[in-house]
Structure formats: C-alpha cells, structure tokens
Amino acid sequence: MATTQMLEAPAQTPQTQVRATQRNSWLSRSNWLAHSALALVTFIVLLPILWMLATAFKDGQEFYTNSASLFPRNPSLVNFQYMFSAIQELPIYMRNSFILAIGVSVVQVFSAALAGYAFARINFRGRDLIFIAIIVSMFIPRSGGLMALYELMSFLKLRNSLFGLILLFASSLPVPIFIMRQAFLAVPKEIEESAFIDGASWFQVFARISVPLVASAMVVIATLAFVGVWSDYLVTYTMVDRDTQLTISVGIQKVLTSSYESATAIVPQLRGQFAHEAADAAMLLFSAAPVILIYALLQRWFMRGLTDGAIKF
C-alpha cells in the first residue's frame, strides 16, 4: 500500500536516470527557476506570520515608529507581560481548548479503533453495507446542519458544555474509521490467528496484538483531530456563549475587540509602553502556538493523514 509514500516523488529507475541526463540542461534550468519561484511563494506565505512574530516583540515606541520592519531593533517582552498579567480569560480559554482538543482526540481514537477493527476483522451481518453507508453519507451536504445541531445541543442540554462539544466534534468519524480499517487490514492475519490458537480472547487479541501494530494510524487520527478542533470557529461560536466555556480560537476575537482601557487598568505600570496592535499580534501567536508546534513536530503523520483521508476515496 503506497499511502505513506503518496506525497513522495516517485523514485527514478536507472533507465529514467539515463534518459534524464539527456535533458539535464533543461532540467537544471527549470530546477533553478522553480526554486526561485517557490522562494517567492514561501515568502508570501510566511510574510504575515513573520510580521506577527516581529510585531509581538516590539514595544510601543518601536511599533509606532517602525511598524513595517520584520526585525525588531530592541526586542521587548512587554506585549507578553501585558498579555499574561492583564488578560485574565486567556488561561481559561487555553485550558478549554486543550480539554476539547485532547478530549476529541481520545474519543475519536478509541471509537474509530474499535469500529475500524470490526470493519476489518470481525464478520457480522451487514458489515460491508454499514461501512459503505458511512462513507457515502459523508458526501451528503449538511444543509441546515448547524441549525439542527443547535436544536439538538439545546435539547440535550449540551450547549455551553465542553463535554457536549467533545461529543459533537468527535462524531465526525468516517475518515478516522476509514484510516483505522485500512491500518487493521494491513496487519498480517497470521499474527492474530496464532494468538487465537494460544487461547486469547477477541478483546485480548485486539488490545494486545492488533492495536500496538496500528499505533501510527492512531497518532495520525489524534493529530488531525487535535488540529482541526483547535482551529474551529463557527461551530464553537454557535454552541458556546458562556465565557467560561469558550475556546481560545473563539475567545481570541473577544479579547482583541474588548476594551484595552479596562485591561490596562489592571496593569497601570504598562500603560503607554506597548501598542494595542502589537499586543494583538502576541496574543494571536500565542493562541496558534500549540497547532504550529504540533504541525512542526508531527509533520510526517500529518501529511499521511491528509493523503489517507482525502485521496483514497
């Protein structure tokens, strides 16, 4: 199965290498041109992020006089000082985001692993029909879905509840189930069969033999779930209006549009030392930091999940 390698360029056979040398001059020129064009793309993509990063380390005076530069002359931590001392909701939002993102990851990995194993290995009536129905249902447009969810969550008394949001987000299971089923299918049947012969039960085989062999697929699912949930805006914004249950990705807008007057009143010593815009930049970076970190560290799994999820259909 070539899924893992989907995003890698195909390896060149010796034959193609010989032929490639014939057009080497053209290739190396195009290689060089492609690199310079991609450098420009990279610059455009990174520019807003780098500017935020630079701005976050500028104090008031530098921001007002030198707002466009990408390198602060006198890096200052005043924005972060302000952020951590004056914005009291920030740690709550952050905690909620972690609870939600980790909660969804756990629920999805758990339920998708069980279901994926059943669809791959256990014979039960209607198995393939149910599986196909799940996959096909993914493509039905969710018109009115948000309104129906609003009614459902109110009815279940799950609005303004992190627990409710965990269930709601964790229910997007077709892709995770699909990935887990693929992973379990790739486990050699013989390993499981020999365990059965040794007298292990279904659950023991599942938990002790099969699950450890599909750990990487589970990491893929957890990563995608974490990043996806962390980044959600619309659904969380609709389901939560109580401040104590907001996530950082929704709360950040509230913080940025709330009055700086009342916030600076908490830290009068910082008054006049920082620019609002620069403090905004620091807070935006702070709220995206966990996903950027995960994306940087778990790149391989991430790309795998994307290709597994979207391409294999």
Partner 1 sequence: MAANESASLSGTRNLGGLLRGLRNKEQGVKYNNLLGYAFIAPAMLLYLVFNIWPIIRGFLMAFTDYRFVYPDTRWDFNGVDNFVKLASDEKVHKSIWIALKYTAMVLPITILAALIIAVLISRVRSGASFYRWVVYLPSILPVAVSFLMFREMYGLKFGLISNILRGLGVENPPNWLGDVAYALPSIAVAHLWIIFGFPTLLFLIGIYNIGSEMYEAASLDGANGFQQLRWITIPLLKPTFALILVLQIGIIGVTDPMLLLTAGGPENSTLTVGLDIYQIAFVKGDLRLGYAAAISLVIGVFSALISAGVFRWSRD
Residues 117-176 that bind partner 1 (CB under 8 A): 117-119, 122-125, 127-132, 134-135, 137, 140-152, 154, 167-168, 170-174
Helix (H) or strand (E) holding 24: helix 24-56
Cβ-in-10-Å burial (0-12, 13-18, 19+) of 181 comes to buried
Out of 81, 160, 161, 231, the only residue in the binding site for partner 1 (CB under 8 A) is 231
Task: Kindly state the smallest distance separating residue 302's Cβ from partner 1, in Å.
Answer: 8
**154 vs 244, beta carbon nearer partner 1:** 154
The Cα–Cα gap between 257 and 255 comes to 6
Out of 8, 190, 198, 261, the only residue in the binding site for partner 1 (CB under 8 A) is 8
Give the CA dihedral 292, 294, 295, 297, nearest 10 degrees: 120
Q: Is 41 in the site for partner 1 (CB under 8 A)?
A: yes
**16 vs 265, beta carbon nearer partner 1:** 16
Task: Kindly state the smallest distance separating residue 85's Cβ from partner 1, in Å.
Answer: 22
Kindly list the distances between the CA atom of residue 24 and the CA atoms of 11, 21, 35, 36, 141, in Å, as whole numbers in the listed order: 17, 5, 16, 18, 48
| Of 82, 32, 30, 37, nearest in space to 57 by CA | 82
| Of 197, 296, 233, 243, nearest in space to 91 by CA | 243
Task: Report the site for partner 1 in 172-211 (rule: CB under 8 A).
Answer: 172-174, 177-178, 181-182, 185-186, 202
Out of 79, 96, 105, 287, the only residue in the binding site for partner 1 (CB under 8 A) is 287
Q: Is 112 in the site for partner 1 (CB under 8 A)?
A: yes
Out of 37, 191, 265, 297, the only residue in the binding site for partner 1 (CB under 8 A) is 37
Task: Kindly state the smallest distance separating residue 120's Cβ from partner 1, in Å.
Answer: 8
Q: Is 63 in the site for partner 1 (CB under 8 A)?
A: yes
H-only helix segments in 57-161: 60-65, 78-86, 89-121, 127-137, 145-155
Q: Is 107 in the site for partner 1 (CB under 8 A)?
A: yes
